[in-house]
Chains A and B, each alone.
Chain A
């Protein structure tokens, strides 16, 4: 086992012959060992309490539009008023540095009559998470502002939320179904979705058409 360690250390110094100019070899490997890393289980790993450093400035900036805050297994959550979604998220991105939007999605609570929007953010510079949530009226118009002006990557996530939950995103460049074909009845991830079968066929241009009954060329 001992010589294995030497071998890999020696290999590290070998210059790669065909290495491209401009390609950098990063050396982030922490050779000095963190004493904490020897403990088991790691104290600070899984179940950190939610840090409020990012929630407080948001509360200051938006006052009553931050409805409440909470904790998502160690990640801070703020509940906001849906009309201010774009402002809060743009503040979170531009001022607080949450550059990475993991996903946009929803969760349906028919008993409470709400549809919960969920934006999962992460900051590359500070390594912190932030979850922004907003409650939409489940039986109402289900409209919320699109965050595509802030993150281009939100485009497909919002199309997915429209497809599976029926949330309309104002200002989205091209809001249409992403997985299911146009013309599909219902939004499948709603808890009261009607699960009767629907059949898909194809028209002359290769676009999908939805039928209620089976037939040749439909499945």
Chain B
């Protein structure tokens, strides 16, 4: 038995086949679906409500960034990296700057590294606040969305004061940062962090202690450590399976060797674990920001010869490098190939979400559509990074 149901929506054909209680159906989730956080399309093959096969289809946001990079001078790719993971733009800058600093052997001044840590951890908070808000929204809770976006607004306000923009930040330069902190900014960061920490406790009460949330998340979208490693998952998705791995600790860069913080891990490997790792990581960010503010040294903020109008004249030697940073979502790396000219020969971005999303079929096959939405939300992907 086979019947075809044509739906009015363009391009959607549902095929129903099978006998009795077995009803198979092909369903397109996305590209315009509120729970996919962008233009991700999932081709689902359903048996009743159970997902039999899931195939993510990418490319709806492909902007050919790696080709764009080859067209201009090295620094001109810096504002373009902002648009990759637009939730945490500073980390894209950081990854690119770190790769360049290894390529060109630039020594970054100490104060610049501290400013990078403070702004970066603020950005990590902003990214995790966005996760908490939209994660609640995907589960059907609307309240945490408002609270976490209120807090994110405060963080973005600080970033705006420092850099002049809220999302597309372009704060880093090769060998340092663009701006020093404005008057009184460190005090404002400190008071905001105190306030956010108090709010974080409330968030904890609201979310972690919520029985309904606990019941909803436990055992959904389970992945083991071996699977996560083999799939190349990084960041909270990997740490939720029990692997204690954080590039800030294990392959440190900047002043992170001096920072004292813990790497939160969970052993469950399910949606609950991924959610808990993120909400606990925020506390570590508060710690790191406080320590960085305490130790903030004086001095220059950019290496000599890389400031002002010299930014467009960077000419690295004929080498290659791979620099990576721990973003809120995982490992972001840039592989640069230089042929001793002012333009990149090849830039490759290793996206965190690109590798993390790859585990989705593993998480959702055999579960229901409702759980698919939860699993997808718990991966905290951003499509700008996947499609590039």
Asked whether any CB of A lies within 8 Å of a CB of B in the complex, the reply is: yes
By the criterion CB–CB under 8 Å, are B319 and A100 in contact? no
Say whether, besides A107-B346, A204-B11, A152 and B251 are in contact (CB < 8 Å). no
Q: Are B333's CB and A102's CB within 8 A?
A: yes
Q: Are B12 and A206 in contact (CB under 8 A)?
A: yes
Q: Across the interface, do A74 and B232 meet the contact criterion of CB distance under 8 Å? A: no
Within 8 A of B (CB), among A76-106: 99-103, 105
Docked-complex contact A20 and B272, CB < 8 angstroms: yes
- Residues facing A in B24-68 (CB within 8 A) are 28, 58-59, 62, 64, 66-67
Given contacts A31-B260, A45-B252, contact A180 B62 (CB under 8 A): yes
Q: Is B264 an interface residue (CB 8 A)?
A: yes
User: B205 contacts which chain A residues (CB < 8 A)?
Assistant: 18
Q: State whether A46 touches B105 (Cβ < 8 A).
A: yes
The interface size bin for chain A is 35 or more
Judge whether A75 and B244 touch: CB under 8 Å. Answer: no
For B173, what are the chain A residues with a Cβ–Cβ distance below 8 Å? none
- Given A4-B290, A180-B62, decide whether A206 and B358 contact each other with a Cβ distance below 8 A: no
Query: B141 at the A/B interface (Cβ < 8 Å)?
Result: no
Q: Is the Cβ of A124 less than 8 Å from the Cβ of B335?
A: no
For B276, what are the chain A residues with a Cβ–Cβ distance below 8 Å? 20, 23
**A102 with B252: CB separation less than 8 A:** no
Asked if B321 and A73 make an inter-chain contact with CB atoms under 8 angstroms apart, the answer reads: yes
Of A36-44, A54-62, A134-142, the one with at least 4 CB within 8 A of chain B? A36-44
What CA separation (Å) do A203 and B264 show in the bound complex?
Answer: 47
Q: Are B261 and A189 in contact (CB under 8 A)?
A: no
Report the Cα distance A72→B321, complex, angstroms: 5
* CB contact between A152 and one of B62, B231, B253, B290 (< 8 Å): that residue: B231
Closest to B319 in A: A73
Query: Given A45-B253, A73-B102, A151-B232 in contact, is the A205-B13 Cβ separation under 8 Å?
Result: yes
How many chain B residues touch A (CB < 8 A): the figure is 73
Which residues of A sit under 8 angstroms from B17, Cβ to Cβ? none
User: Contact partner of A153 among B232, B273, B287, CB < 8 A?
Assistant: B232
A205 to B324, CA, bound (A): 40
> Which residue of chain A has its CB nearest to the CB of B357?
A156
Q: Which of B62, B322, B388 has the most CB of A within 10 A?
A: B322
Q: Are B261 and A29 in contact (CB under 8 A)?
A: yes
The CA-CA distance from A99 to B229 in the complex, in Å, is 7
Q: Tell me the chain B residues, 272-316 only, with Cβ under 8 Å from chain A.
A: 272-273, 276, 287, 290, 294
A100 to B335, CA, bound (A): 16
A-B contact count (CB 8 A): 159
The DSSP consensus for interface residues of chain B is mixed
B350 contacts chain A at the CB level, 8 A cutoff: yes
Q: Tell me, rounded to whole Å, the shortest Cβ–Cβ distance linking A189 to chain B.
A: 6
List, in ascending order, chain A residues with CB within 8 A of B319's CB. Answer: 72-73
How many Å lie between the Cα of A122 and that of B229 in the bound state?
11
Inter-chain contacts of B266 with A (CB < 8 A): 20, 22-24
**Is B58's CB under 8 angstroms from A26's CB?**
no
B118 contacts A by Cβ under 8 Å: no
B268 within 8 A of A: yes
Chain A residues, CB < 8 A from B230: 151-153
> Is A13's CB within 8 Å of the partner chain B?
no
Is B258 an interface position by the 8 A CB rule? yes
A30 CA / B291 CA spacing, docked (Å): 14
Measured in the bound complex, the distance between the Cα atoms of B233 and A99 in whole Å is 12
Q: Which residues of B contact A20 (CB under 8 A)?
A: 214, 266, 268, 272, 276
Q: List 28 A-B contacts (CB under 8 A).
A: A20-B276, A22-B268, A24-B265, A24-B266, A41-B107, A47-B105, A73-B102, A75-B322, A99-B229, A101-B232, A102-B331, A103-B348, A107-B346, A120-B333, A122-B251, A127-B250, A127-B251, A129-B322, A151-B230, A151-B232, A152-B358, A153-B232, A153-B358, A154-B232, A156-B358, A180-B59, A205-B13, A206-B11
Q: Which residues of B contact A (CB under 8 A)?
A: 10-13, 28, 58-59, 62, 64, 66-67, 101-103, 105, 107-108, 110, 190, 204-205, 208-209, 214, 227, 229-233, 243-245, 249-253, 257-258, 260-268, 272-273, 276, 287, 290, 294, 319-322, 324, 331, 333, 335, 337, 345-346, 348, 350, 354-355, 358, 387-388
Q: A20-B272, A23-B273, A30-B260 are in contact. List 17 more A-B contacts (CB 8 A).
A: A5-B294, A24-B267, A26-B265, A28-B244, A29-B262, A102-B324, A102-B350, A124-B229, A127-B250, A151-B231, A152-B230, A152-B358, A153-B230, A153-B355, A178-B58, A179-B62, A205-B11
